[in-house]
Structure 1
Amino acid sequence: MATEMVTGALVSAFVERTIDTLASRFVDIFRGRKHNKKQLSDLKMKLLAIDVVAFDAEQKQFTNPRVRDWLLRAKDAVLDAEDLLDEIECELPKSQVEAESQSAAKKVWNSVRSFVGFFENKIDSRMEQVIENLEHIATQSDLLGLKKGSGVGVGSGSGNLKHLRSLDLSYTRIENLPDSMALLYKLQILKLNNCERLKELPSCLLQLNKLCFLELLNTKVKNVHILGNLKNLQVLMNLFCVDIHEELSIQQLGQINIHGSLTISGLQNIENPSHASQACLENKPHLVELVLDWNWSNNSFADSSDSSSVIENLQPSKHLKKLSIRSHVGEQFPNWLLNNSLPNLVSLVLELCYSCKRLPPLGLLPFLKDLKIKSLYGIVSIDADFHGSNSSSFKSLETLHFSDMGEWEKWEWKAVTDAFPRLQHLYIHHCPKLKGQLPELLVPLENLHIEDCKELEAFAPRAVDLKLEYCEKVLFDWATVKSLKLAGYNIEASFMEMVTDIVPHNSIQHLQINDFDHHPCPNVSDFVSLWTFPLHFFPTLRTLTLLRLNNLQKISQNHIHNHLEDLTICCCPKIESISENWDMLKSLFIQDCPRLEPFTEGGLPSNLKKMTLSKCSTLVDSLKGALGDNPSLKILCVDRLDDECFPREDLLPLSLTDLAIYNFPNLEKLDFRLLNQLSSLKRLTLVNCPKLLPLPDEVFLNQYQILF
């Protein structure tokens, strides 16, 4: 057995010696000869391939008798080659002339070629094994070839595979990588993304000295620690789950050169907080996005002191750009967040940290653009400490999002000047106890959304796009608003009060009013006065949406409206009429408005291109006279009719390109004689027509497409 062990080492030793000799002494023989330089380069690559085979054989000689026999046969070739190599080295000092040098070079070349020839068939044979393994993987994964960019296809032959530099096995059902991959000694890029069945990486990867880029996105590989032995390897792995049963756990990340983004979940499984420091996140400058996640279950024991120690030991590199902290149960955030140790941070999410009682001085982060704070129920007040200073606070912040802050009562900001100079988007959602004032901003916001803040009685910052939902006490300035959405309980009454005091506004282009009508008394709306929507108050309005307004009776205007393009009226049971003076209207949606007067002859806007009528049988009946020869209507959607046959005679204009029929419970037949008269029709959509008889085959040969 000892002899057999030496044999493998003898092969490797001879290869190493030959390469060293080529580099240190024989190179002089080939100097100045381009042809010979190329031969020398090729020879080195062959010798390196031999070294890989020899190393692999040394490892397998004890379990594979055929490998052991092969090594014994290789012994004689090694000894003969070494004798000749010694003889040549002795003759080299005597080679003073060109002819002698050429003779020495010839001897070197012939001896090493003889040795290489012994191995070449073995190398090709081993390469074919790699091909077979990859072909098996591809077959099992329903692949026809390797991924694009791999540089070679399955079955392309060993000649190409030897030079393979990029291999993509992503989205395959691979469970194990073959050990023979070690022979892909030129491989530089390996992609194993979304290989859900792959649980471990083979140790043979450590032999791929040229491997410089490995992708492990969305995998569940456990033994990633072995990658730390490849010093030049860049690793993309977006998920690491800390397992309480693993010996190495979080320490596995220590020596890995991680690039891009990483989520570390299961941090509650770290039993010894000092192990977190061995992840060495602070020494990973190419890790630019990080998520720290504790997955507390109902049976988990949440130790706030351990959680605080763990997160303290997970300090990222100062180069980090995006950070999320989820379900941290400590009473405060780590010192490295308090002490402004992340100067390059541009995005921060603090979520589900129930026990945290105060926020870090985030206003000091110079490049922070996006800040989201969600479900921090320990926060009662946000004070000046949050801003960090009385000037230049949040100087780069563009988006600020507060949501589900159930105990938050007050935002103290008056001691801070010149805060939020670049803020564009402010969202405050589900903060039911919030009272007091909101910050005054010098520059109007692009978006301000306030939702479910019933106690908030404040004046909203100026905004271009304003949404106020379930916060009826919030006031706003009409002057800067271009898009306005008002929604909530009894919002109709609030809007009625507004329109009695306002004067025409030239800024608003989009308006939506949505009343959810949850009155304590079911019939209270019967005592509210009927009212008319004054369209002329909004001369620049382009889109108008009116939803669930129980007392709206009319939409009127004093002159032709030249801007309105889109009108939606839904569930307004008392509306009776809408003005006809809107020639620019292009889209009309009407649903469940039973009192609305039928269209008059020629009463539809001349530029109308799309119309939807839902639960409006009377309006559908009036289309015949109203449409006339209207050449502009292209799309018609009809919803919830009781017709048994559709369409009706002379109902549809010839200009239609799209016709959609939804929710016709009694429809049994389509009149294709009338449909075929629509020469421009390209698409017919049928949805939820349970009684419709099967369509004849010749229908599908028509010029329009039928969708179900």
Structure 2
Amino acid sequence: MSSSQFKVLPESITRLLNLQTLKLDYCYSLHKLPNGMRDMKNLIHLGLRYCNSLSCMPEGMGQLTCLQSLSIFIVGKENGYQLSELKGLHLRNDLSIKELDNVRNFEEAKDANLIGKQNLHTLSLVWQNKSQCPVPEKVEDVLDGLQPHSNLKVLRIQNYLGSKFSTWMQDLLLHEISLSACERCEHLPPLGKLPFLKVLKISGMDSVKYLGNELHGDSAISFPSLESLNLYQMANLEEWRTMDGRENFPRLSTLNISGCPKLVELPIFPSITSLIIYTNNAMLIKSVMNLTSLSSLQIGGMHESTLLPDGLFQNLTAMKCFTLDYCNGLESLPEGLQYLHSLRVLNIVDCKNLLSFPVNGLRGLSSLQRLWIQNCDKFCSLSEGIQYLTSLEDLLINGCPELVSLPKQIGCLTSLSSLSIEYCDNLISIPDELQNLTALKTLRIERCPHLQRRCKKDSGEDWHKIARIPNIHIVDRPAVQSRNGCKALQKLKFWST
């Protein structure tokens, strides 16, 4: 019954005494399970993934001794609803324990017997999101009592309000850790010691000011297996230091940073190939030029800075994909795009004040295959150097109301196979040179009133310029995702990854 819209299940379902599997995943409106569910003694799998409206569990879930899969358990205060209901259950795969504020002490936490559940591979520990409320008593002891079995592979801790993490985190063989909204923790555990950790996500930890010794630990190699690191909403993070004389992050390939306004410099990571960085701090962007192995770079969130740092691209000659997203302060792109000889994808999205490309700024981009310009309100010229894009296959222009014409140089794009023009209200006509593009297989025009009229089949003034193109789509109706660019952004995210 997954993905259904009902809010409750009828009590009569509990009469299905031989039922072994009940799937209720993605039932977003479900807020209550039948009270008599404890009678369903043969139940083995109870799927509750993303049942986010569920507010409590039925009484006596611990009586379901055959149960192996239980996506969510919501802790209550009364007998029959407490964490001890999990004690005798031989759970497998993944489990999210919510409302941990209702656990009063170490003994109650330990009663769940998480350390004995050797087949549990993913565990989420979630407290209520009540930052204005007092810190629960003995919250650190509760976390100590929730120690899982060493077989655990993925650990997520959310809304924990203790000032420190448990030492048992250092002893697990984890592959992935997520720490989010743990607002009172000033220091992170020495996760750099974990030999198999591949993914680390840290977000909403406003008390953390430094990343350094306490995170890296005392091993000869810090984060020996880490491949992906995400830092989100770290409001007071000021400094990130790696360990001198030791190897740091030898396998790190993907780094995502967003919402770290006080961070001004990144360490040098020789192995990073993919970086997503959202910041309004030009100093932090400047340190990107030291990451010479980058093949994919996405920069966003520059609302005040009018320029990207000079020389940003000089050392990034291996880059294949560059995305500039939501940079409303930028008025122009920096010189140096011509150094990106390996660039294949260039995306410019939601840069409201960007006017055009720099003079000859596209000269060195002979490998570029895809160019997308989306929601750039003041973008008015595509002419500077577009003739150098001899490998370009896909050109998308979406939401550029100031663009009034396409350049004649578009006729030099002999590899172009797909051209999409959307929400360009003032684009008047298509140049004659479009007829030279013999490789062009698809033309899409959407919500461009002048072009729609001029490209009308048989009778439009520009119809003869496009008549030979095999696939022509001229759309006047609003798209499901309209001019906010979401539809194009879905394409963008696909290619960025």
Q: Does the TM-score normalized on the shorter chain lie above 0.5?
A: yes
- Tell me the distance in 1 between the aligned counterparts of 2:354 and 2:446: 23
Q: Which residue identity does 1:367 align to in structure 2? A: F
1:82 maps to what in 2?
none
2:242 maps to what in 1?
413
2:492 maps to what in 1?
none
Instruction: Give the SS at the match of 1:215.
Output: strand
Instruction: Give the SS at the match of 1:621.
Output: coil
Say yes or no: does 1:222 pair with 2:58: yes
- Tell me the distance in 1 between the aligned counterparts of 2:480 and 2:277: 39
Q: How many residues align?
A: 458
The Cα of 1:341 is off from its aligned counterpart by: 2.9
- Tell me the distance in 2 between the aligned counterparts of 1:287 and 1:425: 27
Residues 589, 613 of structure 1: 8 Å contact kept: yes
1:263 maps to what in 2?
96
2:35 maps to what in 1?
200
1:641 maps to what in 2?
449
2:379 maps to what in 1?
572
1:313 to 145, 154, 171: 145
1:659 to 449, 462, 473: 473
The Cα of 1:390 is off from its aligned counterpart by: 4.6
Instruction: Give the SS at the match of 1:377.
Output: coil
- Tell me the distance in 2 between the aligned counterparts of 1:199 and 1:608: 60
2:166 maps to what in 1?
334
1:585 to 392, 399, 424: 392
Matches within 5 A, 1:244-643: 244-297=77-130, 300-303=133-136, 305-337=137-169, 340-342=170-172, 344-415=173-244, 417-435=246-264, 437-441=265-269, 443-452=270-279, 454=281, 457=283, 471-477=284-290, 479-487=292-300, 488-489=302-303, 493-494=307-308, 497-498=310-311, 502=314, 507-513=318-324, 516-518=327-329, 537-546=339-348, 547=351, 548-550=353-355, 552=357, 554-555=359-360, 562-569=366-373, 570=376, 571-573=378-380, 577-590=384-397, 592=400, 594=402, 598-600=406-408, 603=411, 605-614=413-422, 620-623=428-431, 626-627=434-435, 630=438, 632-642=440-450
Instruction: Give the SS at the match of 1:324.
Output: strand
- Tell me the distance in 2 between the aligned counterparts of 1:658 and 1:323: 50
The Cα of 1:481 is off from its aligned counterpart by: 3.6
Instruction: Give the SS at the match of 2:289.
Output: coil
The Cα of 1:292 is off from its aligned counterpart by: 0.9
Say yes or no: does 1:235 pair with 2:65: no
Change (3 A) 1:686 1:245: closer
The Cα of 1:558 is off from its aligned counterpart by: 6.7
Residues 165, 188 of structure 2: 8 Å contact kept: yes
Structure 1 gaps, min length 5: 1-140, 142-146, 148-168, 458-470, 520-524, 665-684, 689-708
TM-score normalised to structure 1 length: 0.56
The Cα of 1:359 is off from its aligned counterpart by: 1.3
The Cα of 1:449 is off from its aligned counterpart by: 2.7
Q: Which residue identity does 2:468 align to in structure 1? A: L
Change (3 A) 1:625 1:416: closer
- Tell me the distance in 1 between the aligned counterparts of 2:12 and 2:421: 60
Q: Which residue identity does 1:401 align to in structure 2? A: N
Instruction: Give the SS at the match of 2:188.
Output: coil
Change (3 A) 1:558 1:300: closer
RMSD of aligned alpha carbons: 4.0
Q: Which has the larger radius of gyration?
A: 1
Matches within 5 A, 1:55-66: none
- Tell me the distance in 2 between the aligned counterparts of 1:478 and 1:179: 59
Change (3 A) 1:284 1:509: closer
Larger % of helix: which? Answer: 1
Instruction: Give the SS at the match of 1:611.
Output: strand
The Cα of 1:575 is off from its aligned counterpart by: 5.7
Residues 47, 69 of structure 2: 8 Å contact kept: yes
1:176 maps to what in 2?
11
Instruction: Give the SS at the match of 1:448.
Output: strand
Change (3 A) 1:657 1:419: same
Change (3 A) 1:239 1:585: same
Residues 574, 593 of structure 1: 8 Å contact kept: no
Q: Which residue identity does 1:634 align to in structure 2? A: T
Change (3 A) 1:391 1:616: same
The Cα of 1:633 is off from its aligned counterpart by: 3.4
Instruction: Give the SS at the match of 2:411.
Output: coil
The Cα of 1:299 is off from its aligned counterpart by: 6.9
Residues 363, 388 of structure 2: 8 Å contact kept: no
The Cα of 1:448 is off from its aligned counterpart by: 2.4
Residues 268, 291 of structure 2: 8 Å contact kept: no
The Cα of 1:353 is off from its aligned counterpart by: 0.9
The Cα of 1:255 is off from its aligned counterpart by: 1.2
Change (3 A) 1:394 1:216: same
Question: Structure 1, residues 33-82: CA drift from partner, whole Å, max 9, x if none?
Answer: xxxxxxxxxxxxxxxxxxxxxxxxxxxxxxxxxxxxxxxxxxxxxxxxxx
Structure 2 gaps, min length 5: 483-497
Change (3 A) 1:428 1:295: same
Change (3 A) 1:224 1:204: closer
